[in-house]
A and B are shown apart, each in its own frame.
Chain A
Amino acid sequence: MAETKKYWKGIEELTNSATVQKLAENEFNSEISTEEFLGNKEKLEESQTSRRDFLKYMGFSTAAATLAACEAPVVESIPYVVAPEEVIPGIPNYYATSYFDGHDYASILVKTREGRPIKVENNKLAAMNGGANARIHASILDLYDSTRLQKPLINGEEANWSDVDTGIKKDLNAAVSNGKQVVFLTSTVISPTTKKLIGEWAAQTNGFKHVMYDAFSYSGKLDAHSASSGKRSLPTYNFKNADVIVSFGADFLGDWVGQNVSADYASRRKPGKDMSHHVQFESNMSLTGSNADLRHKIKPSELGNALIQLYNELGGSASGGNTSVSAQVKEAAKKLRAAGSRGLVVSGTNDADVEAITIAINKLLGNGGSTIDYSKRSYLRQGDDAAMKQLVADMNSGNFGALFVDNLNPAYLMAGDSKFAEGMKKVPLTVTFAEKNNETAALSKYVCARHNYLESWGDAMPADGVYSLQQPVIRPLFNTRQTEECLMTWMGKTGSYYDYLTTNTKAPNWKKALHDGVANVSGVAAGVSAVADSTDKAGFFERVFGGSDENNTDNNVSTGAAPAADVNAAASRLSSAKGGAMEIQFYQKTGMGTGNLANNPWLQELPDPISRVSWDNYLTVAAADAVEIGLENTNESNGALNGSVVNLTVNGKTIENVPVLVQPGQAKGTVGLAVGYGRTAAGKVGNEVGVNAFALFNGSHHSTDVKIEKGIGTHGFACIQLAHTMMGRKIVNEVNLDTFLNKPAYGEGGWNEVTEFETFKGPLTSEETNLWDDFDHQTGHMWNMSIDLNLCNGCGACVIACHAENNVPVVGKEEVRKHRDMHWLRIDRYYSSDMNEEVAEEQGIGAIDMYAAMEKPSSSPEVAFQPVMCQHCNHAPCETVCPVAATSHSSEGLNHMAYNRCIGTRYCANNCPYKVRRFNWFQYEGNSKFDKNLAMNDDLGRMVLNPDVTVRARGVMEKCSMCIQRIQLGKLTAKKEGRPLKDGEVQTACQSACDTEAIVFGDVNNKDSQVFKLKQDKRMYHLLEEVGTQPSVFYQTKVRNRA
């Protein structure tokens, strides 16, 4: 039986005294005086709130009101309702896709974090163009450009898609029924599926024409190949097999015919007996020319004659061939003869005659199948200048119904030809597919807001046998549609473009292809044009994925192609062509290309590898010409570069106030001007940067009709390099191939002599004359990095990759001008000087005059590139001077930077011999004064930031961390899997962006690692070894193959 126990609170309750009883009646044992206080009105009136009470109430209410007024920051973060399986917070996912903007093509991997694409990486599985250039690496930022079109436009007003669809269909039907022309104007199309769709559209639309036009056209080149092989496409070039490369104005490491050859080129630039020999004939100092073993200056108009001379030297017989460089051509011919089929001659113009002779020369060399692959055609340039010319004429003729423009900005490209804009106005239906309300979109009736490439499906066939896929890596951010979807809607097709793509490819191994981004289609040579050909109904796509092997005999055919008559005709035309007193060569800057990504601040701020100028294009002028015309570059008292301006007239068209940059290595009598600048509707970053060289363009890459008139005033450049020569110092260690092969590296007079200091113990190296206690670097990892100066061609992809990986801010032109660029990784460029200590001694020149002369680059300089990032010194000068120990050494050989601890004395930066430390002079994040820093100044832009890397605050020093976040991820992955870290598992951002493998990172305590082997290489040297900093970064001596 349950007993009701009684518990008491204390003895008092047990005894149950009267007091306790009384208390128990009241729950609250003290009276609350509410009634007393408020109930009695009289008393209330009598009573006074004391001063203290009043102050209390006031204090409380003020505090409460203040607190209530403070709004806590709202962080919008919406969790997944159903989380996708593959998205794990903190773990990146990689998706393979393809980039093609009509100009640049690459097969890439896109790194996404929590569903956000944040970085582009090279796709190592790619058979072609697996190395993305600087622009493609930067393209990720364009996805988050807040100035993108978020909706379609009708007559410039935002509209919805159904209105656009109805409108366009109605107008298009009207055009077709009136029998008018319908033209689809695009850049080169390399997608077989898109071509098929366009073909189907053509089939159901009367009067339809598809015109392809390339911004920087190689139409002439294509025509020459068409004449020689019957196919209007370019061959692919195999630089891997080339012992001798002679280039006539072809900037194949920079921008050429779209095929990325830098990795192949680099594979033969490793010093040794089989190192290739590269001769460049050119007028502008190009990226390729700066990497050449021998570079000869020549006027653009003389290139044809130089080629004729070479052709004759190699056994051909054509008229003409007198140039100022005949000795050099002879020399090149000798080398080519010796190389035979392992020689390669390339040319860079848009002139069919020049290309015809180049083809003939290569035929004489018999290099078909060896260095040139005629069977594997490249489709990256298909534009037809004649068709474009016809289009402009047709538009103005009035018999024109509709113009659709995709992936091309003709209003910008044809800025010099007012007929285009006028013609466009006469066309009743104008539709532009664009991501931005660009120059062409502004002239169009309908603007179809396009997906970014990272939101689109697609495929690409850049060359025969090469097939890659494009997949979206994020849901469309805005109410946009990809071009193909629009076309399908208007054609009345059901389903999505994805369905169309998969149906047409009929891939049995679709998932693998999608995963890899590329599919092995070797042996398929049908090419993109075949798909467009409606007779090819047999199913190209089955063959693409079926991998049927067809023997192609193009190489044999081609060696017999190009009838001699053509060469003679071409030669006579070329030799009779007149040169000008002043000639202009148009070119593309590494950062900007043809200006598609002009609104990308990373690219605008990327210093040009040659001139080191960012945020501008300019007229490059030879020093001798500059003196004649009275042009000069000067520096302001803070080191900022200024230049004269000129009024430039080319082909009868004038641009005023073109800034001038005196360019060492520029051929006398020539000037250079980069295209891709001077955009007027690119967005807040790209607008009004530089001048639009396309306005002077008439299709040819050069012109002999040039007039230069000195303008009034000066132009301010954002040039980050003030001194251009090495001042006789051993910074880029250089040696000739002969010496490298035959002479000792070390010891007295060796080509890689280590500096020794005389001490009382005899001569010792800086490492041996050490004052400091050494860290233990035998235990655990010891991270080192090797940078091969022979493989680095200065392309700048690593700089952009570093920008993206490490959230490096963009500071804008004015700040760069003040030498406050924030790049963690820079590529120093040095010109050789005509003055050195030997010359000074010979001529009896004193030290003061010698150093003054050393500052001047030679007029035909040799160029050296040197990527410099934090050298992670093991005896770091920065570490000892920081008063708060914000920068300190890791046990793994890295120099760490604790941003939280940094108070910003800048002592570390001052004491850094390499000057790699960067200070946050201002708040670059969330600061409207730095609104060009797109990645940090609006919510959309911030999506590109790498969540693994802190965005640094104002007043903090920052620098290269060797991508510590990647090292950490690699170490953790290995630890979780219970295994040691593998060599090559951790790659820094710059390393993975470098397709020439110039940068190798790894653990030197792992004796099997590549970096350990490279450290033993006799080319290895440390930058400024004699300072005794013991860097973890080392360089490989640059070897030039001059002989």
Chain B
Amino acid sequence: MHYEAPIRKPLIIGDKSYHDITVDIARPVETKAPRSWWLVFGISLAAFLWGIGCILYTIGVGIGTWGLNKTVGWAWDITNFVWWVGIGHAGTLISAVLLLFRQKWRMSINRSAEAMTIFSVIQAALFPGIHMGRIWLAYFVMPIPNQFGSLWVNFNSPLLWDVFAISTYFTVSVVFWYVGLIPDFAMIRDRAIRPVTKHIYKILSFGWGGKAKHWQRFEEVSLVLAGLATPLVLSVHTIVSMDFATSVIPGWHTTIFPPYFVAGAIFSGFAMVNTLLIIVRKVFRMEDYITIQHIEMMNIIIMLTGSIVGIAYITELFIAWYSGVEYEQYAFLNRATGPYWWAYWSMMTCNVFSPQFMWFKKLRTSLIFSFIISIVVNIGMWFERFVIIVTSLHRDYLPSSWSMFSPSFVDIGIFIGTIGFFFVLFLLYARSFPVIAQAELKTILKSSGENYKKLQEKDGHH
């Protein structure tokens, strides 16, 4: 039995038994969806379909339907890509890194965080595909044997590294998530009444029997996968950042990009987790499991990573000045004072200034405030990628080729479409998957549950 110091706040509130946890977590799966779910789902689906329409239009007509030009060859496409990948960082970080660090508070949030990871990586993975001029030849990026002699992919290209990094990350995340889901699926299977439902969950739960051997294997696999996933958390965004860092464009060619991007990714990912969980705990009445303390922990991480990102921004400015390179100096001056100054200052406000409010306990334990900040942070992080990509490209070396970028309705449509797609997936997940890793959570009920903590205190147990 895990022992937890009485000074620590309980992670499960209320007078909960194991059965209560089961019932609470199985409730969304077993009950009918409320009207509000259908409403949100409908809106998301509409956005998703609109996005599909825009994507098909792009593929049918050409990349020219976007707002790009000869100078700015990437804009919203890669901005969205990096944004979604960044968001996808929190899940694995929470479930893998915090597992390794034995952070028990992760248990109430890791399931949804991982789901969010997978769904946002799906959104991210769309963009490298559809941004290609000839998507029907996308398989060229795979190092597959072919009839063209020794024609290989270019292993020097960070874009190729992206392909590997994202696909590995996605695969490992899905497997990790699924392994964690097995005992919970089994729980739903055991409770299911309708034969079809039962059958589906039977297949999904992989013959889980809850035997000691099963639990032992489960723990082992989780640990191994966590070990595998941890470096991936760092590698994915490192490699994404290399798309820019290995280039020669002032504003892209920056050696601090890997840690800066990883910090930014965790920052935005945690913000997105907050956004989703604040809604989920309310709607599914899971306030007892996803407590204010959880939100507070998340907020502290947001504050920390936000500050790291802020330092990175300032370092960039300093290095630009210190380097003495004219182009570099101009690139950063242009970011802050050029035609896209509003994007730069939006980024600064949202990412650097707004998380500083989290120093105040009152604010970081306020749900509404946390929710607002979580949205603001993700707006800021979107702008960060926009600033890096567009403001660096639009004025690079030769002024003769300077240009501007303005999104077309297709650019906007695809972005909205991915948000729609993300929520479609998340909403379906919320009503068919156990949104909290209840099997894991039950392991800490007796050490971190409020009632048991109280009992311990009363009994003077240690």
By a beta-carbon cutoff of 8 Å, the part of chain A in contact with chain B is 635-639, 721-729, 731, 815, 818-821, 826, 828-830, 847-848, 851-852, 866, 868, 877, 880-885, 901-907, 909-911, 913-915, 917-923, 953-957, 1024, 1027, 1029
Contact = CB atoms under 8 A, between A and B. Distances in A.
Given A848-B337, A918-B70, A885 B154 contact: yes
Contacts of A726: 399
A828 B398 CA distance: 9
A956 B62 CA distance: 11
Contacts of A922: 61-62, 64
A243 to B, nearest CB: 33
Contacts of B100: none
Contacts of A884: 140-141, 153-154
5 contacts: A639-B403, A639-B404, A819-B69, A905-B131, A914-B401
Interface string B326-337: 110110011001
B406 A637 contact: yes
Contacts of B152: 885
B326 to A, nearest CB: 6
Interface string B373-401: 00000000000000000000111111111
Contacts of A724: 399
A731 B163 CA distance: 37
A911 B249 contact: yes
Nearest to B137: A903
Contacts of A955: 62-63, 132-134
A866 B400 CA distance: 10
B154 A915 contact: no
Interface string B162-199: 01000000000000000000000000000000000000
A953 B137 CA distance: 13
Given A883-B141, A955-B62, A955-B133, A914 B153 contact: no
A910 B70 contact: no
Contacts of B399: 723-727, 729, 731, 830
B70 A901 contact: no
A954 B326 CA distance: 37
Contact of B63 (A902, A918, A921): A921
Nearest 5 A/B pairs, CB to CB: A904-B133, A955-B133, A921-B64, A639-B404, A906-B73
Contacts of B406: 636-639
B157 interface: yes
Given A907-B74, A955-B133, 9 more contacts: A639-B405, A820-B64, A866-B400, A883-B157, A906-B131, A910-B393, A913-B398, A917-B70, A921-B62
A904 B134 contact: yes
Contact of B62 (A721, A722, A882, A923): A923
A723 B402 contact: yes
Interface of B: 61-64, 67-71, 73-74, 128, 131-135, 137-138, 140-141, 151-154, 156-160, 163, 243, 246-249, 326-327, 329-330, 333-334, 337, 393-406
A915 B133 contact: no
A724 B401 CA distance: 10
Contacts of A721: 400
A725 B74 CA distance: 25
Nearest to A724: B399
B40 to A, nearest CB: 32
Contacts of A723: 395, 399-400, 402
Contact of B247 (A727, A902, A911): A911
Given A723-B399, A956-B133, A821 B70 contact: yes
B74 A906 contact: yes
B346 to A, nearest CB: 16
B249 A901 contact: no
B268 to A, nearest CB: 23
A818 B157 contact: no
Nearest to A916: B401
Contacts of A909: 70, 73
Contacts of A923: 62
Nearest to B336: A848
Contact of A880 (B128, B141, B163, B246): B246
Interface class of chain B by DSSP = loop
Nearest to A1028: B248
A635 B246 contact: no
Contacts of A819: 69-71, 403
B417 to A, nearest CB: 21
A911 to B, nearest CB: 5
Contacts of A954: 62, 133-134
A639 B402 CA distance: 9
Contact of B330 (A851, A877, A914): A851
Contacts of A920: 62, 133
Interface class of chain A by DSSP = loop
Contacts of A725: 399
B248 A919 contact: no
A639 B400 CA distance: 13
B154 A882 contact: yes
B71 A847 contact: no
A366 to B, nearest CB: 44
B140 A915 contact: no
B411 to A, nearest CB: 11
Given A636-B406, A821-B70, A877-B247, A905 B132 contact: yes
A918 B68 CA distance: 12
Contacts of B156: 880-881
A638 B151 CA distance: 39
Contacts of B141: 883-884, 903
Contacts of B67: 638, 818
A854 B308 CA distance: 35
A915 B401 contact: yes
Given A884-B140, A884-B153, A910-B249, A815 B74 contact: no
A271 B114 CA distance: 69
Contacts of B131: 905-906
B135 to A, nearest CB: 8
A922 B57 CA distance: 12
A914 B61 contact: no
Contact of B134 (A847, A903, A907, A921): A903
B264 to A, nearest CB: 20
Contacts of B160: 883
Given A819-B71, A909-B73, A880 B157 contact: yes
A883 B140 CA distance: 9
Contact of A727 (B132, B140, B330): B330
B70 A919 contact: yes
Contacts of B396: 913, 915
A823 to B, nearest CB: 9
A1024 B132 CA distance: 29
A820 B72 CA distance: 10
B78 to A, nearest CB: 9
A731 B398 contact: yes
B397 to A, nearest CB: 4
Given A723-B399, A830-B400, A881-B246, A915 B159 contact: no
Nearest to A848: B337
Nearest to A837: B326
Contacts of B132: 903-905, 955
Contacts of A728: 326
Nearest to B158: A881
Nearest to A888: B154
A82 B401 CA distance: 52
Nearest to B338: A851
Given A881-B157, A882-B157, A1027 B63 contact: no
Contacts of A883: 140-141, 153-154, 157, 159-160, 163
B68 A913 contact: no
Contacts of A1029: 248
Given A903-B141, A919-B73, A848 B333 contact: yes
Contacts of B393: 910
A902 B405 CA distance: 24
Nearest to B327: A729
Contacts of A905: 128, 131-133, 159
